[in-house]
Amino acid sequence: GESVGLHLPTLSVQEGDNSIINCAYSNSASDYFIWYKQESGKGPQFIIDIRSNMDKRQGQRVTVLLNKTVKHLSLQIAATQPGDSAVYFCAEISYSSASKIIFGSGTRLSIRP
Amino acid sequence: NAGVTQTPKFRVLKTGQSMTLLCAQDMNHEYMYWYRQDPGMGLRLIHYSVGEGTTAKGEVPDGYNVSRLKKQNFLLGLESAAPSQTSVYFCASNNPGGRYNEQFFGPGTRLTVL
């Protein structure tokens, strides 16, 4: 299948522990921030998004935190499972820029049994 | 529903050859996008379309052309392939309303230009 990336930063986590993936973004005028998951050989899959006027949003086993002061975004995955192994991308979208999504470079999450 | 499909899955070209990548979606989405993904990098937007008959340039449009003659199809063309266009190409689609930010991606096309 299609490889995602050979030289991505990697986060190794014990199965059952919580994972925290971090991302720095560039555009302070972005309207939404998004996390995508990409498994080997597949296209990216939407996980969760957060509006720029929020600082926290929770989904099923995932939480996204937004710190606009330092332009930092994080994705927390609770009770990490083997199926969480993937590359995770943060992305930002600005409606004033024709709603184009700008992707970050990605972090590979590796689960230890 | 098949979602977003892409053809072909793999292709090898020689420098200077041309080809067209086809993206099809059966979700009646208005917006469609073409991205490329290089090793160690995130996706970069090549071209996009906000409706049938419309196209617009993205972040890295040079060397590519697109057409959206039918709502369900978005074609990406390379007129004269170069080794720098070796990459994995992803198509995506979504609608401007509802879960606006949720783009649905195809499985990708791996293109190698020799």
Q: Nearest CB to B105: which of A6, A43, A102?
A: A43
Choose the weakest-confidence range: A2-16, A66-80, B96-110. Answer: A2-16
Look-up: residue for tokens 């990697």? A10
The span from the CA of A69 to the CA of A74, in Å, is 14
Give me the phi and psi of A66, to 5 degrees please. -125, 125
pLDDT at B35: 96
Tokens of B25: 């979606």
Query: Which domains can be identified in chain B, with CATH numbers?
Result: 4-96+107-113 (2.60.40.10)
Q: Please tell me the predicted confidence (pLDDT) of residue A3.
A: 34
Q: Do B106 and A43 touch (CB under 8 A)?
A: yes
Give whole-number Cα distances, B56 to A63, A97, B24, B30, B43, in Å. Answer: 34, 12, 18, 14, 17
pLDDT digits (tens, 9 = 90+) for B11-24: 999 999 999 999 99
Q: Looking at this protein, which amino acid is placed at residue B11?
A: R
pLDDT at A16 over 50: yes
Mean pLDDT score of chain A: 87
Helix (H) or strand (E) holding B78, with range, is strand B73-78
- pLDDT at residue A99 above 50? yes
Q: How many whole angstroms separate alpha carbon B73 and alpha carbon B50? A: 12
- The two most distant CA atoms of chain A are separated, in Å, by 45
Contact B39 A5 (CB under 8 A): yes
Q: Rounded to the nearest 5 degrees, what angle is found at the Cα of B54, between the Cα atoms of A31 and B89?
A: 70
* Residue-range domain boundaries for chain A: 10-112
**CATH 2.60.40.10 for domain A10-112:** yes
Choose among B4, B45, B88: nearest Cβ to A2. Answer: B88
Residues of chain B with pLDDT under 70: 96-101
* A2 interaction partners in chain B (CB closer than 8 Å): 37, 88, 107-108, 110
Secondary structure class of A69 (helix, strand, coil):
coil
Q: How many CB atoms lie within 10 A of CB A110?
A: 12
CB contact under 8 A, B101 and A101: yes
Cβ–Cβ below 8 Å for A91 and B106: no
Residue A20 Cα to chain centre, angstroms: 9
pLDDT at residue A98 tops 60: no
